[in-house]
Amino acid sequence: MRESIKNIIPYSPGTPVSELEIQLGKPIVKLFANESLWGPAPTVLNYLKNCTNEFLFYPDGGAGQLKKSLAEYWHLNIDNFCVGNGTDEIIFMLANAFLNPNDEIVIPTPTFSEYATAVQVAGGKINYIPQPYLSFNLKEIANSIHENTKMIFLCNPNNPTGTFFTSQDISDFLLKIPADTLVVLDEAYCHYANSPMFPSAGTLLKQFKNLIVLRTFSKVYSLAALRIGYAVADAALILNLEKVRQPFNANTIAQKAAVFALMDEQYKDKVVRETIAERTWLTEQLLELDLNVLPSQANFILVQIEAKASMVTEKLLQDGILVRHTGSFNLPDWLRITIGPHPFMEQLVASLKNIL
């Protein structure tokens, strides 16, 4: 065992929904991991139904077709992209490619857990910057960065809070920190942000060569089970990621499904519109119940239930609704709820009213 993994607790995904359904004897609405319950675009589904002749050969390790689509989508070159078996894999590749043991990494919290795990495995030292108001204060975070800081992870909108930082905030931040500190900007949920102040990663990438943006097909594109995500950055940084990439990391089906997903902007826009409408509706309903809800720019919301959060999670499950109690994010009084189509949101609100 490597010394660096001694204190790591293995990720626990919880009991599979199919098993919970058997235990409870009823179907479960999964509002737990922020997948899009609208499902993939029809063209993607059509490809998936007809891809049975694609299993025989190894995938295109270079993900050529997908990188070409991404280059068109972003108006960049194919060497600005590295494709991963989910963004999770890219996060580990970042740690593998760039971190030496004892390098200092900054992670504001609460945030997505995999950044810390990847850094710990690589033997990096994490400087956690707690954000008591649950939205990132980039001015304060910039003050904790010095010339020895190798990398910083920023999630926007952030998981689990759903809060965001603005275009101005991130530009000021990037101008302030050393040019050789790598900034990883995880935009897993950016499609759902409708604030005009939300940053444009494309514009930032043109100006800042130390910026690495992460995107996933697991959320708005509904391809979580296929595992596909990517990094977009300056070609010199991407080259280093490519050095630590496994030869056939992203499978053929996932790569092609992602290409089809990118083609159907109209479907994606419809999913985003409906998600935002449900997010607004659910927020209003929860506020009417006198609950504290954080304003969200993502496809989930964080709601405070105080001392009862864990009990409410249990009771919702008895009613066939699985939400995420955020104890593991050090937020034991809160629940994170994925936004889904209206009937699910109505079911959730009815059940919650009853429980409370």
Binding site for ligand PLP (CB under 6 A): 33-34, 86-88, 112, 155, 159, 186, 188, 216, 218, 224, 229
* Least spacing, CB of residue 117 vs ligand PLP, in Å: 12
Sign of CA dihedral 108, 114, 115, 119: positive
* Least spacing, CB of residue 39 vs ligand PLP, in Å: 16
* Least spacing, CB of residue 72 vs ligand PLP, in Å: 21
182-186 and 149-155 beta bridge pairing: parallel
* Least spacing, CB of residue 102 vs ligand PLP, in Å: 25
**CA–CA dist 307, 104 (Å, integer):** 35
Which lies closer to ligand PLP via its Cβ, residue 98 or residue 300?
A: 300
Q: Do 195 and 168 form a contact (C-beta atoms < 8 A)? A: no
Which lies closer to ligand PLP via its Cβ, residue 218 or residue 255?
A: 218
3-state secondary structure of 205: helix
Which lies closer to ligand PLP via its Cβ, residue 88 or residue 169?
A: 88
Q: 350: which 2 tokens? A: 């009815």
Q: Which residues pair with 108 in a beta bridge?
A: 129
307, with CB counted inside 10 A (0-12, 13-18, 19+), is exposed
Amino acid letter at 81?
A: F
Which lies closer to ligand PLP via its Cβ, residue 112 or residue 208?
A: 112
**CA–CA dist 220, 210 (Å, integer):** 27
* Least spacing, CB of residue 56 vs ligand PLP, in Å: 26
Which lies closer to ligand PLP via its Cβ, residue 34 or residue 120?
A: 34
Residue, CB closest to ligand PLP: 86
